[in-house]
Amino acid sequence: MDDHNIVIKPLVTEQGMHFASKYNAYAFEVNKKSNKTQIARAIERLYNVKVDSVRTSNRKGKLRRRGRNIGVTRSWKKATVVLHEDYHIDIF
């Protein structure tokens, strides 16, 4: 799998900015089929950083209703990547 197919996009949120400044941890939306080692290698290659650890979670889609129509938002996978203390990513 290609690095750009593994890491879909960085998640830029207020809480994510707090974690980046305090814990040097960044959140990304990643491919559902990727594992932690693939995610760590892809982040290291794309951003030229050293990854200490990776935490992943599968986010289930939620039910949404609009009038009589009921739908489901898509499910996705979130990865929180903690970098070595000498590195940082400028995504904000």
Report yes or no: 16 and 82 within 8 Å, Cβ to Cβ: no
Please provide the size of the chain in residues. Answer: 92
| pLDDT tens series, the chain, 92 aa | 888 999 999 999 999 999 999 999 999 999 999 999 999 999 999 999 999 999 999 999 999 999 999 999 999 999 999 999 999 998 76
The pairing of beta strand 51-59 with beta strand 76-83: antiparallel
Decide: pTM greater than 0.75.
yes
